[in-house]
Amino acid sequence: MADDSKYVRRVRGKLASRGRTSKADRMRQYNKHIENGTEVNEHDYCQNQQARPEEFTNASNMDIRHIGENVEVGSSKPWFQGRRVVELDVLARSMNCEKCNSWLRLSDIVDEVVYGMASYLYITCQNSVCRHISLVPTGKKSSKRGFDINYKVYLAMINAGMGPSHVNSFLTGCNIPPVDESTLRKKQKELAPIIINAAETSCKSAQIEELECSSSNELEGSFDAGWQKRGSAWSYNSQTGHSSLIGVNTGKVVEFDVRSKNCSVCSYYQGRNETTPQHECNANWTVRLWSQTWRAL
């Protein structure tokens, strides 16, 4: 006879385990909250906009005649929901009216324009004579007028070995609005050449240091290579691979290289049966299996 000790009760007419009954109880409570209108969602910035809290909906104290054309007063933008990454020094220095220099209050925000992990806050001056809406940034901007935090996010993503989807999974878990993938790709185009140049400069310095520590005029090192689908001789079909040479004496990387079988630009135009324009092609490897040969260095 089957052991029913692990089953608690019936769910939808069938015996259910303890975990399933707990899930059913949670869903029942969740639906009850929805029916009563008391639902509380930690990640509600990606859902339909709910009513703005009472302290922000009192429009009687707001003179809408002087509000800019690009600013909407109302609950169309969830600026008051979720969390934000803010540079306190920048925010503190910007909390003055652009017109009359009066102090501004965060409770007087009427709108927010998000740029990646940074944003501009539209704050109404409470001076009855002024009523000007000031544009307040939440962080520093670079010389190219891009917010520094977006560059930092891309560098942190590379340093942690993550991708855009992993970054956004982390941010949504913290109830921070996610960064659009196109923003990270844009920063990649700007920063990738700088990162590569810094890596090459570091390797040249390591080569000089390695030669100084060597008893001969030749470099001696340990070479290794890898690719993303390596395993059991069945998945040697990765589109990219990388290799590095580490000096014996210093333990530093003296040379590296990356190989790719695919170029997104070439693939795009080939799929459309169109002539591929001149571009910096990333495809520099044609060997079918990485395990056959490695000629990166």
Per-residue pLDDT of the chain (297 residues; tens, 9 = 90+): 445 555 555 555 556 565 556 666 766 766 666 566 554 444 443 444 444 444 434 443 444 334 344 444 444 446 778 889 999 999 999 999 989 999 999 989 998 888 888 999 999 999 989 999 999 999 998 777 789 999 999 999 988 988 889 999 999 899 888 898 888 888 888 898 999 999 999 999 999 999 988 888 888 889 888 777 655 556 667 788 888 999 999 999 999 988 888 888 888 898 889 888 988 888 887 766 554 445 544
Q: Are residues 204 and 268 in the same domain?
A: no
Q: Are residues 246 and 281 in the same domain?
A: yes
Q: In this predicted structure, what is the pLDDT of residue 244?
A: 92
* Domain carrying residue 163: 142-216
Q: Are residues 208 and 245 in the same domain?
A: no
Is position 130 within any domain? yes
Q: Are residues 68 and 96 in the same domain?
A: yes
Is position 55 within any domain? no
Q: In this predicted structure, what is the pLDDT of residue 36?
A: 61
Q: Are residues 227 and 292 in the same domain?
A: yes
Is position 211 within any domain? yes
Q: Are residues 128 and 170 in the same domain?
A: no
Q: Are residues 154 and 130 in the same domain?
A: no
Q: Which among 194, 216, 238 is the end of a domain?
A: 216
Q: In this predicted structure, what is the pLDDT of residue 71?
A: 43
Q: Which among 189, 216, 243 is the end of a domain?
A: 216
Q: CA-to-CA distance for 288 and 64, rounded, in angstroms?
A: 66
Number of structural domains found in the chain: 3
Is position 43 within any domain? no
Strands 221-227, 133-137: pairing kind: unpaired
Q: In this predicted structure, what is the pLDDT of residue 231?
A: 58
Is position 9 within any domain? no
Q: Are residues 187 and 251 in the same domain?
A: no
Q: Are residues 207 and 192 in the same domain?
A: yes
Question: Does the global pTM surpass 0.85?
Answer: no
Is position 8 within any domain? no
Q: Are residues 101 and 162 in the same domain?
A: no
Is position 42 within any domain? no
Is position 29 within any domain? no
Strands 109-115, 118-124: pairing kind: antiparallel
Q: Are residues 257 and 272 in the same domain?
A: yes
Q: Are residues 163 and 130 in the same domain?
A: no
Q: Which among 140, 157, 174 is the end of a domain?
A: 140
Q: CA-to-CA distance for 179 and 48, rounded, in angstroms?
A: 19
Strands 253-260, 221-227: pairing kind: unpaired
